[in-house]
Amino acid sequence: MKDRGHLLTEQRNIRSNSIDLMTIEEGFDVINYEDTTVASAVAAAKPQIVAAIRLVVGAFGAGGRLIYVGAGTSGRLGVIDASECPPTFLSDPEMVQGIIAGGREAMFRSMEGEEDKVQSGADAIDQREVGTDDVVFGIATGGTTPFVHGALRRARERGAKTVFLACVPEEQCEDDADVSIRVITGPEVVTGSTRLKAGTATKMVLNMVTTLSMIQIGKVYENLMVDVNTKACSKLVDRAARIVSTVTGMNRSQALSLLNKADGKVKTAIVMHLRDIDYKTAEEWLTEHKGHIRSILES
């Protein structure tokens, strides 16, 4: 068993040394202050995060996938980010995937021992038949998770591009990924509990990666969710109607009627109205322009 005491995420935070003696209000202030430092830590890793996003956009353009790999909190955050893409961007559920050590059961109950299984990480990559068009994004906030490193190693062997996200400096824990993202959030309020600042940083980075990648492939027009899945629930139908109204100037009733004619597809509805064309032609134009509304409207 290796001594991980040198890792930054395992160090003690001097500001919370006496948190067990503090009032709830004082403890709140300590945690809240520490949380305010996370955004600047993410900003410092901008070049690497942008490089990772470019890899993901390239993968999507080639028909490939983004596959997150993690254990514990890191794995859960990857699964959550992946699961939120289809309703938000109408993306194929296979396009962004999350692998967590221990599988589905580990989403709901801690299975800490699973993170030590290097071969299980490699097997998970083989099971998904990872290939050269894919990006495998390993998340290990403390930098050492064997399951994640096993997955990344196998992904490289299979020709995939790789990204590694950790909250410790490279000199404390190296990796061989194509892009290494290091978000240095520092010692946690509760020593070693990386579900805190490191978890918050992970959520911010993953949100950035999928959101900006989806924007780049035409899933957003202006700042509107124009590929929202209207088949999912009434809330998203309502949102879709408001988006169509915003872009076209239609009232709500007209927008809903147009959406119905467009089979619930927001982009198709917008193009049909603003270019005064039928459903079939709008679909053809969207295919020709790779789903980018702006390029249709400005051409």
User: Tokens in use for 78?
Assistant: 């990857």
- Residue 287 burial (CB count, 10 A): 9
- Residue 245 burial (CB count, 10 A): 17
Cα–Cα separations (whole angstroms), residue 103 to 80, 84, 123, 252: 13, 18, 12, 43
The Cα–Cα gap between 15 and 187 comes to: 10
CA-based nearest residue to 215, from 204, 227, 206: 227
Q: Does residue 20 sit in helix, strand or coil?
A: helix
One of 10, 34, 114, 115 is an active-site residue; which one? 115
CA-based nearest residue to 206, from 67, 60, 32, 105: 67
One of 84, 157, 170, 171 is an active-site residue; which one? 84
The answer to whether residues 67 and 128 touch, using CB atoms and an 8 Å cutoff, is yes
115 flagged as catalytic: yes
283 flagged as catalytic: no
The Cα–Cα gap between 37 and 16 comes to: 15
Positions annotated as catalytic residues are 84, 115
